[in-house]
Amino acid sequence: MRVLRWELLRLRAQPRVRAAFAICLLGPPLLALVLSAQTGLPKDTLFGRHVRDSGFALPLLVLGFAGTWAFPLVTSIVAGDVFATEDGHGTWQALLTRSRTRAEVFTGKVLAAVLTSAALLAVAGLSSLVAGLALAGDRPLAGLSGTPLGPGRAASLVLLSWATELPPLLGFAAVSVLLSVRTRSSLAGVGGPLLLGLVMQLLALLGALGSAANVLLTTPFAAWHGLVRGDPYYGPLWQGALVSLVWAVACLIPARRLLLTRDVT
């Protein structure tokens, strides 16, 4: 807990983490202002044509974009530097002379990265919902199957849809941690997961992998599509959660082993 509290304070003080929170908080309202001033609508995107009909369409529009491109970047900004920063500043020797073990340091740093990433997700989701309601009110939302969803159900489905992004988000956090520990480079820890996410998205868009695309870490970001329907289905959610868990375990176990056996003299 001491390591966790310290890492949370340090992350909160970093300019790029503050900038990420500012973007998550202010980006959706700015988008709502732009859409209210435009005569056209982003009809080529999911729920883009409905942003002026229902306030629950805007958070889903933002979610569709963020899950494709933004979440890997936001997560890597937070998690890609939590270990490499000690190498960059040469502080491992001083840190490991404290009364905390390497295992405690690893766990505290990982938890700090996970909690901060989850907080960014929550801020973006709530900001999008508030901005959408301010733009179009709480009128019913037309689901992906064409079935109207009442305000109460639409609100719960929007929040649940944003919550389903947490497993793949944590998977990317684990990738960032592994690269940060293995390379000892903040550049690799931050840029590596972003590049990996872009490659996965391109492979999925091109259809080069067929059904094998289900094992990509970016695929679970779209699992919420099955929820916003009159007849929801949950198979992709469970599959995406399992895929994200496998990625997280496959990255965190070797990262922990590397840190526990590292020579920092």
Q: Are the C-beta atoms of residues 43 and 49 closer than 8 Å to each other? A: yes
pLDDT digits (tens, 9 = 90+) for 104-162: 989 999 999 999 999 999 999 999 999 999 999 999 998 888 888 999 999 999 999 99
Note the pTM of the prediction, 2 decimals. Answer: 0.91
Q: Is the distance from CB of 92 to CB of 264 less than 8 angstroms? A: yes
Phi then psi for 208, rounded to 5 degrees? -75, -20
Dihedral sign of CA atoms 225, 70, 115, 173 in order: positive
**Interval 172-181 mean pLDDT:** 94
Q: Which residues lie below 8 Å from residue 186, measured CB to CB, with a gap of 6+?
A: 80, 81, 84, 85, 88, 180
Rounded CA separation 53/135 (Å):
9
- The share of the chain scoring above pLDDT 70, in percent, equals 98
Strand partners of residue 148: 142
Determine contact, residues 61/42, Cβ cutoff 8 Å. yes
| pLDDT tens digits, 182-237 | 998 888 898 999 899 888 888 888 877 777 888 999 999 999 999 998 888 899 99
